[in-house]
Each structure stands twice: as C-alpha cells, then as structure tokens.
Amino acid sequence: MWASVKYQCTEFQSLSNARRINVDREINQESMNATGLLKQLMGNLLFAGRPKKRQNMTSPVVISATAKHTATLIFFHGLGDTGHGWASSMGAVRSPHIKVICPTAPTIPVTFNAGFRMPAWFDLRSLDSSGPEDEEGIRKATEMVHSLIAEEVAAGIPTTRIVLGGFSQGGALAIYSALTFPEPLAGVIALSAWLLLHKKFPAEAIGNRNTPLLQCHGDCDPIVPYKWGQTTATLLKQFMTQTEFKTYRGMMHTTDQEEMRDIKKFIEKVLKPMTHVSSFILSSLKNGIQKVVLNKPAKKNALSPQMYKELTMLLNESAENNEVMVFALTANGDFFSSGNDLIASMELTLSSSLVIVKEFIDAVIMYPKLLIAVVNGPAIGIATTILGMFDIVYASDKAYFQTPFSSLGLVAEGCSSYTFPRLLGHSKAGEMLYLGYKMNAQEANQYGLVSKVYNHDSLEEVWNYLNMISTLSSQSILATKRLCKWNKEILLKVNKEEMKELKNLIESPELSERMLSFLTRKNKL
C-alpha cells in the first residue's frame, strides 16, 4: 500500500523547479545537492503561508472563547514551526464558544535535518513511507496530547466537545492520538498529514473509530506526498466510519482559502453552540443524540431548582428539534446524582420549589422521543425514581439506586409510586420506597430497571454503541415509543398527587429534624 511515489503535478516536475515555490527565504540551488535541497525545502515549506514568528515557545498559545466556553480545539503545528504559526488561522475559523490551544513542540535533534535541533513532536528519521519511525517519541508526544485533553475535561469540557487537529507532523500526531484515546472526541482535522506507525493499525485503534475525521491534502505537496494522504485515507476508511478526504488542486505543503473554509465548516458541524448551558448543565448534539451532562461533581450532582429549570427547557426544546432523536442524561464525577439539592431548594418558597420539580417531571412524562440514562455512579432519590420513565438505562457497575424517602419523612416522587411496582414487582418496590433499600447495579439489571451494566472503566463504550441510532429509522423508533410509553394521562395525574402529598409532608413539624439528620449522613456518602 505504501509504495514509492512519483510526483504528477505539473507545478512540481522536479527539484530543479523548486524556485517556483513561495517559501520564507530564497533557496540557492547551486550550492545544494538533491538531498540538501529537499531538506531545505522541508524546513521552509513546513510552515509556508503562516505568520513568520519562529520563537522557541514552550507554553501553548491559547485563544480564549469570546462567549461561554463550551468547546475546545487543540491544534498541533508542523515540524520546525511553533504554536504561533497556526494560532491566528485557527482563531479566525473558530466560533465564539470555542477555545483554541496551539501548543509548541519541544526543540529536539531531528535526524532528517542532519541532527540539528528544531521544534518537533518526535524525531523524523526519513521521508520514506517504509522508513524507520521514532515509536518512543511518538508515544511520548501522544501522552502529552492526552494530558491536554484531560486538562480540558477537568475544566468542565467533555471529550465530545474537543477537536484535535494538526498540520503535517502535527496532523499525523492528531490522528494517532485520537485513535489511541479511549473516549469519544468531537472530531479530528488532519492537514497534509499521514498515519503514524501505520503497520500497527487497525489493531491499535482503541477509540474514536466513529469520530468524524476531515483529512485535507494538496495534490502538489512535495514534502508529504499526495499519495501518502490517499493511502492513509484508504487505510482509515477500513475501520473508521466517518472519514472525509478532500483534495486541493495545485496546493503544495501549505494551506489556502478553500481549505480554511472547509475547516471552518467542519468545526461548525462538530462543535455546534450549546443551548441553555450553565456550569452545572452541559448539553451537546451529535448524531441525533442530545447528550446532557450533570456537571456539579463537588456536590455529587445534587439538583438545584435552577438545574431543574434548565433540564425542563432542554427537554422541551429537544422535543421540537427535528435533529434530535435521543435525549441522553449522564453526569460528570463519581455520582450520577445525590437527588435534590435541599439547601438550594430552601432559598425558594415551598410552592415555587414544588412547581419547578413538577414541571420537570411533567416534561419527562411528555417527552416524545427516546429517553436514555447513562448512570455513571450512585443515584439517590429523584435521580432513581425518574429512571422508571426512561426508555433505556445503562449503568456503571459502581452505581447503586436508593430512595431514602422515609428517612426524610417525605414521599415517593418521580411517579415511582406507579412505575416501580409495575417494573420491580410490588414487594421489591415496597422495599425500596418504604424502607430505602439500596439496590446495586447488577440487581437493578435483574429487576429490569437497568438494561445493561458496564464495567466502570468501559462505560464510555455506551456512546460508541448509541452512535448507531443515526443509521436507524427515526419514524420507526418514535412510532414504537408511542406504543410502548406509559399512559401519559395516568402519569400526569400520579405526579400531581405525589406533589400534593409531598407538600403536606414538608409542612409537617418533624421534617426539619429528619432533614438535618439526613444532610449530616449525606455528607458522608
């Protein structure tokens, strides 16, 4: 597959035509042999057309989002360049909600550059497609890429809102890093690039096989031959499901306006603005799946009145959005949710708090599309009871389900007084609702509350599995949902009755003492 390449471009018939290439400095051909000329071209063409800053930067260039930061583009420059070389170009094509990070490679000796030191993500030992590769350096650089992703996730940006991209050596690093990263990314951009350690694929592709990949290449590239781009695209199509290879006529080892327009379109497609996003609720749409993430791990994702409001708005909006087929609820951190944020609820009047919760439950009842929960950890109270109305529930083996209503002196909610006896059986439902029984994930699977239990470290596989939904008939799914759904009128009535009983109990004298006792125990969870 990786055969020798003969250039077909009339703009680059031989090395003697190198003067036609627009590079940073004039090349004195007479003073070079063919090998020396190619190396000089390599150094100049790697960042042709970029801003001419060449500082040996060690800190990444960061262009902050100008709106609410909900997505990140991490872009890696080519050999000999710095993060500054691409920062302005990427900044020009990103949307206001996207942060751009352009790291600078360490300065190392490069074999192909006669051992001279220059910024490089790893050693480049040959321009021969069958030549030796710096496997140790590639893996070390990949660890750095994965750590950058981890930093964004720690800052509240899910992996599905992160795009990796790069030019030339940086593009090759972006492809390899995505395929060796286990969690799904939003997309990959590879410009004038190739597949590193290609003989190890597809065996080493442990992730992102369903992630969109935009691969761009000029058909007159004298440095990374066009044929390399074609053979890379052919190989990637064998195990990736969303690859696109675009050819740019007459373009050498650089970029042009047409390519930048295509990059902008790709970014807009895979990193769409998120609606109604707060720091505690994250929402993104991809392949027909609206992924909604509870993002308050410091408080075990306890649901405040404001979070209920945002969840209700998201449910109602996605119900009307023709691009949405699935509303998938999950969470960041160790807990799915510890239930109601009782302290935040006390900031409102009793009536206001109950109305907000009731409207959320009503929105769940009336939702016409698929409701899927990916329970990443313990689910307490309403975080458990609403699952009875979800169409599919997946759970981590670290999850458990508990409804401690009697400990608080409260009452069943989330229509669980109706759904649980029918799902779990009368006796087991009673044990949970009356006695606060803690049900583990395996038991929840046996009783039908959970569809499948995943090893916690493999829970992200759910999202790859759910991507198949985009290939299914939406009309068929929605029609079946209408047939399988609980009777909405009954559930609306049950919700109203539960809220009425809840109001009566909250107004009872013993509540304050029980709530104080519960909050003390809850902090020890």
Written as one string, the DSSP assignment of 197-264 is TGGGTTTT--S-TTS-EEEEEETT-SSS-HHHHHHHHHHHHTT-SSEEEEEETT--SS--HHHHHHHH
pLDDT band of residue 471 (cuts 50, 70, 90) is confident
- Give per-residue pLDDT as tens, 481-515: 888 878 999 999 999 999 999 888 877 666 666 66
| Confidence check: pLDDT of 525 > 60 | no
Phi, psi angle pair for 30, to nearest 5° = -60, -25
What are all long-range contacts of 230-239, with beta carbons under 8 Å and residues at least 24 apart?
Answer: 231/1, 231/2, 231/129, 232/175, 232/193, 232/194, 232/195, 232/198, 234/1, 235/1, 235/195, 235/198, 235/201, 236/175, 236/195, 238/202, 239/201, 239/202, 239/205, 239/209
Per-residue CA distances from 353 to 130, 303, 309, 428 (Å): 67, 11, 10, 30
Q: What is the pLDDT of residue 94?
A: 93
Of the candidates 60, 124, 56, 126, the one whose C-alpha atom is nearest the C-alpha of residue 87 is 60
- Euclidean distance between CA atoms 275 and 385, whole angstroms: 26
Q: What is the pLDDT of residue 184?
A: 86
Q: What is the pLDDT of residue 175?
A: 98
Q: What is the pLDDT of residue 17?
A: 32
- Euclidean distance between CA atoms 314 and 292, whole angstroms: 9
Phi, psi angle pair for 163, to nearest 5° = -110, 135
Q: What is the pLDDT of residue 522?
A: 52
Going by the DSSP 8-state scheme, the letter that residue 112 receives in this structure is: G
Its sign, for the CA torsion 419, 420, 424, 427, is negative
| Confidence check: pLDDT of 127 > 80 | no
State the pTM of this model: 0.54
Residue 208 CA, chain-centre distance (Å), reads 10
Return the H-helix or E-strand segment holding 62.
strand 61-63
Q: Comparing 1-5, 176-180, 188-192, 500-504, which segment has the lowest mean pLDDT? A: 1-5
Residues marked active site are found at 168, 221, 253
- Euclidean distance between CA atoms 41 and 404, whole angstroms: 70
- Give per-residue pLDDT as tens, 342-393: 777 777 777 778 889 999 999 999 999 999 999 999 999 999 999 999 999 9
The residues with which 293 forms a beta bridge, in sequence order, are 282, 330
- Euclidean distance between CA atoms 364 and 371, whole angstroms: 8
- Give per-residue pLDDT as tens, 294-315: 999 999 999 999 899 899 989 9
pLDDT band of residue 86 (cuts 50, 70, 90) is very high
Q: What is the pLDDT of residue 343?
A: 78
Domains of the chain: 61-271 (3.40.50.1820), 281-523 (3.90.226.10)
The percentage of the chain sitting over the pLDDT mark of 70, rounded to a whole number, equals 85
- Span 442-446, mean pLDDT? 97
| Confidence check: pLDDT of 277 > 70 | no
Of the candidates 243, 456, 217, the one whose C-alpha atom is nearest the C-alpha of residue 333 is 456
- Give per-residue pLDDT as tens, 6-61: 334 433 333 333 322 332 222 233 333 333 434 444 444 443 334 334 344 478 99
Task: Give first-to-last CA distance, the chain, whole Å.
Answer: 56
- Span 408-416, mean pLDDT? 90
- Euclidean distance between CA atoms 40 and 380, whole angstroms: 64
Residue 156 CA, chain-centre distance (Å), reads 11
What is the chain's mean pLDDT, rounded?
A: 85
